[in-house]
Structure 1
Amino acid sequence: MDDDSRSTRWEQRTEIPLALASLVFLAAYAIRVLAPRLPDVWQDLCLAALLAAWALFAVDYAVRWWLSGRWLGFVRRHWLDTVVLVLPLLRPLRVVKVYEAVQRRHGRPRLALHARVIVYAGLATVLLGFAGALAVYQQERGAAGASMRTFGDAVWWTCATLTTVGYGDIAPVTPLGRLIAVGMMAVGLALLAAVTGTFASWLLQVFAREDDERPPGG
């Protein structure tokens, strides 16, 4: 069996467990951020869940890197996986990939390409927005001069940032909070471009189909 087929089989077997681990990671991180006054035993359990999930991500990356047989090439081709390994808050995006895998296994009809792009972009926006709001709130709460005093403020700021509105009534003041904000801005622009580009492409296809169906001389 060649390396590509072994790598494919590994990814198929691990995609759902890793997606569940991603959700556990996000849930444990959310609890630690939003409930800092929990008893130490619960905080320790959440930290253990975070570390265990991250260890699974690291093992998965190492196995796929080894099975590729082209180790430097693997890092170049899968640079996003490397970034996600360092920034595991992005791991919940794996749920987007799992949705289609479940659809394939159950033999259900899939959505059209344009609809899938819009649905996946929407799901990615929700997951990344929630993770980003948690991350920036963790940095901003209690900071001197911070305007982001509650998690609700962080969610409002995230919505304004991802939609590229940017009211400016709430803004991060810490260096790491601003770095997270830069990432959120880039993600917002990319997702907006994906959705608008896909919608425009769909409209062009609809108009072209109508022109093809129109009788000559009509």
Structure 2
Amino acid sequence: MNDSPQQRWDRRMDRPLAAASMLFLTAYAVRVLALDLPETWRTTCLIVIGAAWAVFLLDYAVRLRLSGQGPRRFVRTHLLDTIVLLIPLLRPVRMFNLYDRVQRRRRDGPRLTLYARVMVYAGLTVLLLGFAGALTVYHHEHDAPGATIRTFGDAIWWACETLATVGYGDVVPVTPFGRVIAVGMMACGLALLGAVTGSFSSWLIQTFAMEDEKRPPGDSPGAS
């Protein structure tokens, strides 16, 4: 099967984009958490953040060109990619696109591995998105008037209860930007929870079906 130029580009950029995402998140974390960081290192972090974002922009521009679509149509059909480009800390959400690519490639093959991959990807997405959300909220909340999220530990706890959609209410964002982040994380938490539970349920159903197929005729449970 011959891949399209866009598929070949996506496959070629998987690792560079993953590396750029980790560099972006690391540089942002150092800049937010290391409050007494020397100015030289703070500038270095900004350079790394800018370089990583340039990689994201290059990838977006190339995919726009290879798609053969106009800019407006491309933005409409790739809304998630556009949002992630504008807010790079949401890049873990692009794991949803990876689910679709894996599913299409394995549509005619065994699906047990697919379900396991979806659950692993969802778990990684939760960890990365939770960490990025905690960083962002801590950055904007810790010195805000009336803030309840004062430490990064508070931010981690808030991210966990928000992604799990528990919402104890003991620590909550008070700034408009923090509340926008909270809404986005609640939506992502619901989607990721649905992906994991749905994949696990499908995996169990297929496992039981395969076991039934291997049994000799008349040896199924409940057979007389």
Q: Does 1:75 align with 2:97?
A: no
Deviation of 1:169 after TM superposition, in Å, equals 0.9
Q: Does 1:189 align with 2:151?
A: no
- Partners in 2 of 1:111 and 1:16 — Cα distance? 25
- Partners in 1 of 2:191 and 2:207 — Cα distance? 24
Deviation of 1:202 after TM superposition, in Å, equals 2.0
- Partners in 2 of 1:92 and 1:26 — Cα distance? 10
Length-normalised TM-score, structure 1: 0.85
In the other structure, the counterpart of 1:107 is none
SS in 2 for 1:22: helix
In the other structure, the counterpart of 1:48 is 47
Report if aligned partners of 1:19, 1:95 keep a CA contact under 8 Å in 2: no
- Partners in 2 of 1:94 and 1:198 — Cα distance? 18
Report if aligned partners of 2:112, 2:203 keep a CA contact under 8 Å in 1: no
Greater displacement, 83-92 / 189-198: 83-92
Amino acid at match of 2:87: L
Q: Name the Cα RMSD after superposition.
A: 2.6
5+ unaligned residues in a row in structure 2: which ranges?
A: 106-110
CA deviation string 1:130-178 (max 9, x = no partner): 0000011111111111111100110011111111121111111111101
In the other structure, the counterpart of 2:34 is 35
Deviation of 1:19 after TM superposition, in Å, equals 1.3
- How many pairs does the alignment contain? 208
Report if aligned partners of 2:80, 2:94 keep a CA contact under 8 Å in 1: no
- Partners in 1 of 2:199 and 2:216 — Cα distance? 25
- Partners in 2 of 1:7 and 1:190 — Cα distance? 27
Report if aligned partners of 1:22, 1:94 keep a CA contact under 8 Å in 2: no
Report if aligned partners of 1:93, 1:127 keep a CA contact under 8 Å in 2: no
Q: Does 1:141 align with 2:134?
A: no
- Partners in 2 of 1:87 and 1:130 — Cα distance? 15
Report if aligned partners of 2:90, 2:132 keep a CA contact under 8 Å in 1: yes
In the other structure, the counterpart of 2:132 is 131
- Partners in 2 of 1:186 and 1:10 — Cα distance? 30
Q: Does 1:7 align with 2:1?
A: no
Q: Per the alignment, do residues 40 and 111 of structure 1 end up closer, same or farther by CA in structure 2, a change over 3 Å counting?
A: farther
Report if aligned partners of 1:26, 1:92 keep a CA contact under 8 Å in 2: no
Report if aligned partners of 1:19, 1:92 keep a CA contact under 8 Å in 2: no
5+ unaligned residues in a row in structure 1: which ranges?
A: 105-109
SS in 2 for 1:166: coil
Q: Per the alignment, do residues 20 and 64 of structure 1 end up closer, same or farther by CA in structure 2, a change over 3 Å counting?
A: same
Q: Per the alignment, do residues 186 and 15 of structure 1 end up closer, same or farther by CA in structure 2, a change over 3 Å counting?
A: same
Q: Does 1:167 align with 2:164?
A: no
- Partners in 2 of 1:123 and 1:145 — Cα distance? 33
- Partners in 2 of 1:31 and 1:139 — Cα distance? 15
- Partners in 2 of 1:8 and 1:114 — Cα distance? 22
SS in 1 for 2:4: helix
CA deviation string 1:50-93 (max 9, x = no partner): 11111111111111101211224433332211111011112255
In the other structure, the counterpart of 1:176 is 177
In the other structure, the counterpart of 1:26 is 25
Report if aligned partners of 1:157, 1:170 keep a CA contact under 8 Å in 2: yes
Length-normalised TM-score, structure 2: 0.83
Deviation of 1:211 after TM superposition, in Å, equals 4.3
